[in-house]
């Protein structure tokens, strides 16, 4: 079993990793681990998380009141407490500002769509919580429902929260989520990403269940970006027989049509 000193070293290491990735800047972000059932070791307010030392961390009780340390608790300690209360199975929380995840939320584009097998297999979906004013009680309230069922939640216009049994589990989930956002960004630039079919998603869920992994929801309510015509779990979706609906066919061909149009226009300009 790890000592408090070991946990302090882990949090300092996580701060360096997240800062090096560019997912926090300056004094942004905060992360914590539980010390038993009644204490939290957490990053303080007003400190650069990429350059912390072990002694900079503080210990609070489960209400956010400081027990020890020379610095003060973050104004968002309530977010961590909400996660621990909703998820007794987790012992670590990370709140960061991953660049592309935040960018997608600014654009109003959810990452809940079933695109990558790895995400369906490990996270289920990646929901986006409604906008809440940072540092207020609105933030923990905004994630209460989602964090019960998911290990990764995007905070609209604000950042993300990821949880895990260890701080490294929470970090790995954060890394996976931002990687999904990066892949999705490039896929959207190339054309219209096609979600996995219902058959494919169900197969992934079956494998996950067979391995005894925790259940994670994948539902239409979380998948708002694909539309009823091709949503993997939509009741209106036809059996996966390899054919495409008219809408799907049109969307699949749009990038090709756009490319051909550009090339034709370029050729015509040579004769103008």
Read off φ and ψ for residue 8, nearest 5 degrees: -60, -45
Segment 143-161, tens digit of pLDDT: 999 999 999 999 999 999 9
Segment 54-98, tens digit of pLDDT: 999 999 999 999 999 999 999 999 999 999 999 999 999 999 999
What fold, for 4-190? L-fuculose-1-phosphate Aldolase (3.40.225)
- E strands, 50-183, are 58-61, 66-68, 92-96, 128-129, 152-155, 159-164
Mean pLDDT of the chain: 84
Nearest residue to 200 (alpha-carbon basis) of 166, 230, 163: 230
Strand 152-155, strand 128-129: pairing: parallel
Highest mean pLDDT among 52-56, 122-126, 137-141, 233-237 belongs to 52-56
- Predicted TM-score (pTM) of the model is 0.80
**Position 238 pLDDT exceeds 60:** no
pLDDT at 123: 86
* Helix-then-strand count for the chain, H and E: 8, 8
């Amino acid at each position: 079993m790890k000592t408090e000193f070991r946990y302090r070293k882990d949090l300092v290491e996580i701060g360096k990793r997240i800062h090096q990735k560019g997912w926090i800047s300056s004094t942004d972000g905060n992360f914590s681990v539980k010390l038993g059932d009644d204490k939290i070791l957490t990053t303080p307010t007003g400190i650069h998380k990429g350059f912390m030392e072990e002694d900079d961390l503080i210990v609070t009780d489960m209400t956010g009141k400081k027990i020890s340390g020379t610095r003060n608790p973050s104004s968002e300690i309530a977010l961590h407490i909400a996660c621990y209360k909703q998820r007794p199975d987790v012992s670590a929380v990370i709140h960061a500002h991953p660049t592309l995840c935040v960018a997608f939320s600014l654009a109003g584009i959810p990452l809940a769509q079933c695109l990558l097998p790895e995400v369906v297999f490990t996270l289920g979906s990646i929901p986006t919580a409604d906008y809440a004013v940072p540092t207020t009680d609105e933030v923990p309230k905004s994630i209460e429902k989602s964090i019960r069922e998911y290990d990764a939640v995007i905070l609209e216009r604000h950042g993300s929260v990821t949880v895990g049994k260890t701080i490294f589990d929470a970090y790995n989930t954060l890394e996976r989520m931002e990687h999904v956002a990066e892949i999705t960004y490039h896929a959207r630039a190339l054309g219209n990403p096609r979600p996995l079919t219902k058959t494919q998603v169900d197969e992934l869920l079956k494998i996950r269940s067979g391995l005894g992994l925790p259940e994670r929801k994948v539902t239409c309510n979380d998948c708002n970006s694909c539309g009823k015509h091709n949503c993997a779990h939509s009741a209106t979706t036809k059996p996966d027989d390899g054919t495409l609906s008219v809408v799907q066919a049109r969307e699949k061909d749009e990038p090709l049509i756009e490319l051909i149009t550009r090339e034709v226009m370029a050729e015509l300009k040579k004769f103008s």
